[in-house]
Amino acid sequence: MIKNGYLNGVYEELAGHYPDQPEFLQAVHEVLETLVPVIEAIPDIRSRTS
């Protein structure tokens, strides 16, 4: 589980679309974990991407 709710939601959505791709999901998980500090440092980043 990813410590940031937004990023965890992104992961869960992708996991729902690609349940048969464990290597892809592992890579996504690792990348999203590295983005936690960025998302927490810029909390309004979600509204910039919508």
Q: Phi and psi at residue 19, in whole multiples of 5°?
A: -65, -20
pLDDT at 15: 98
pLDDT tens across 1-50, in order?
A: 899 999 999 999 999 999 999 999 999 999 999 999 999 998 787 776 55
pTM for the full predicted model: 0.84
Tokens 């980043």, residue? 45
The torsion of the CA quartet 43, 48, 49, 50, rounded to 10 degrees, works out to: 110
What torsion, rounded to 10 degrees, do the Cα atoms 24, 30, 36, 38 define? -90
Cα 46 from Cα 22, distance rounded (Å): 26
